[in-house]
A and B are shown apart, each in its own frame.
Chain A
Amino acid sequence: MTNKQLLFLVALINVIMMFLLIYKQNKIIKELYQLQQLHEKKNELLEKNKELLLQLHKNTQLSKIEQIANNNFDLQRMTLKDVSKIPIDTPPIDTSIEEPHANT
């Protein structure tokens, strides 16, 4: 290989390496950008979750539920007198073991 050809090869390799480096850096920045976009999206969803959780707790406050129960459904608070014991008769456990039929 002549000197000129060698020089040309070295220059070509260097140019390719430079392009690969630029490509790598480009890719990293692109991925980083996407990561940050996802982080922002995640934060938005977390904020939305927080808002919904707050709405849920506001709407399930006991005082509100009691109001609806009393006014809309005419429900009354249960007392211990309203609870009655019902005895459950449990059937006796069958402890008999069936004899296996003998092969004939």
Chain B
Amino acid sequence: MQTHNNFVRSLFVIIIFSIIYGIIAFNLYLIQIQQNTFFKDLGEKQYNITIQTFPQRGYIYDRNNNAVAINKDSFAAFILPKTLTQKDALLKFLQKHFALAYERFEQYNNKHFMFIKRNLSDQELECINNAQLCDIHILKESSRFYPYESLGPILGITDVDNHGQFGLEMLYNKTLQGTATTYKLKKDAKSHHFYFSKEMMQQGNQAAAITITLDGILQHKFQTILQETIAQHGSVEGAALSMDPDTGEIIACVSYPTFNPNDTKKLNMEETKCKPISNCFETGSVIKVFAALAALQEGVTTLDEEIDCENVKETYIDHLRVRTVYPCGKITFKEVMQYSNNIGMVKVIKRVGTDLYDTYTAVGFGSLTGVHFPGEQKGFVNHPKNWSAYSIQSLAYGYEITTSLLQLARAFSLLINGGYLVTPKLIKNNSPTQSVGPLFSKKTLDDMKEMLLSNMQAGCGTKANVADYTTYGKTGTANLLINGQYDEDRHLYTFIGAIEKDAYRRVIVCYVKDSKRATYASQISAPLFRQLAETSILHELINK
């Protein structure tokens, strides 16, 4: 009996333990085999994390390898609305110092994350640090700093996410930004920093730097001179550009009014425009250079041909009124340019006819230059099929045609470089200079140079002469179009010119809009050209 009881007890214990071990074995089967994938993934999530590292945005350098766009840290303040510990104190603080964030707070009450403000100023950051609220966290973000403020319209700016907004920052955004590299790290469940292994999952592209053709220091000097000229004459707007006529490299490109790319809290979009490239205007008498080019190339006149300018300020040619500033009698065509006589010019250009349009378009007016700058305007040249009776004379002295400073510089370059129309460049790279030509005969170009030289010696351009340097140039004083009518008291003063000595050549073009009192380009833009040219010489040749 006892033996039987012992047997039953033993059997009972065996059965109980078998059941327990069976359950354990079954659980093990479930965990290790049936739900293997689930627990493996759960474990991997605890131990493996994926991170992305973004490259620092590439720098931008000028032609002398000075950094003109660099990276800096900016700070953003954020809160986690669902985990606030001092809500009342926080709201009071936001109401006092960050009113916009306070207004938005209601919408974000149930969200995990809310920015208070991004791109904090030094004062705002100090204010937050002094408040010592543990609910406000600071995040470091990347942004840009521009050491040369005058380059703002060319370089553009980046937004709060460090993406280019306009200018070269936008055009080369992908190159400057690069792409993220993804890594897989193996960590233990508790450690935050330490990892056991690091595996690259996806290689990103490194951010690349770009080098521009502009000279940052010369750009600043040009800006200062332009602003002084504008202040002196009470003008409203101005721009200037310097270009290498052989390579097409743009050395300086300034605008006024302009903006500070390091302070973009209040941005006036008009001030962000790169005026030498984006603004087109009726040029006035500077266009006579290219009208004369057409006349000489077509062989309808010569430098020494006597033209009867009738010694009057106003006359009628084919029943259409033509006016000029300085009355002249019978003078040579060279002198017609010297004195910028409209009557003489119209008489000659009428012989050119519709070929004038071909010359204007051949030198690049009315089309994009190929500089590929965002916002570039191509201007306008009135097509012969739309010509009225006035058109030929308007086109002869700079109306019914709009051009940008860059187009003028490019067209003037071909007079200096042997007749080649070069493509302007803003980025310095090893690609060869793109040009078309020679577009005009050597005789025509030599005659043009002679004409432009005489203009500097005895004509309207005498105040633009640069001592010891061969200077070519032409002034232009165009009436401004105000409310659909030309205002004879308000003008745009332009100068296009070039300096040359030995191997050094520069084409410099500039304009100033309006002045306190009506005057001529010989009093405003010609001296401006001289100052810019002398500054270029000092900076590029002497102060090197």
Contacts and interface: CB of A to CB of B under 8 A. Distances in A.
B204 interface: no
B298 interface: no
A53 interface: yes
Interface residues on B, range: 20 to 34
Contact of A83 (B149, B196, B542): B542
A103 interface: no
A10 B267 CA distance: 81
Interface stretch (A1-9, A12-20, A57-65, A94-102): A57-65
A47 B72 CA distance: 9
Given A63-B149, A63-B220, A80-B537, A53 B193 contact: no
Contact of A54 (B70, B220, B467): B70
Interface in B156-200: 193-196
B104 to A, nearest CB: 31
Contact of B67 (A33, A57, A66): A57
B48 to A, nearest CB: 16
B534 A50 contact: no
A66 B87 CA distance: 49
B148 interface: yes
A33 B188 CA distance: 13
Contacts of B220: 62-63
A24 B72 CA distance: 43
Contacts of B195: 32, 36
B349 interface: no
Interface string B327-355: 00000000000000000000000000000
Contacts of B105: none
Given A32-B196, A80-B467, A54 B145 contact: yes
A51 B467 CA distance: 46
B217 A50 contact: no
A1 B194 CA distance: 49
B145 A58 contact: yes
21 contacts: A32-B196, A36-B193, A36-B194, A36-B195, A40-B193, A47-B73, A54-B70, A54-B72, A54-B145, A57-B67, A57-B70, A57-B147, A58-B145, A61-B149, A63-B220, A66-B224, A79-B538, A80-B467, A80-B538, A81-B467, A83-B538
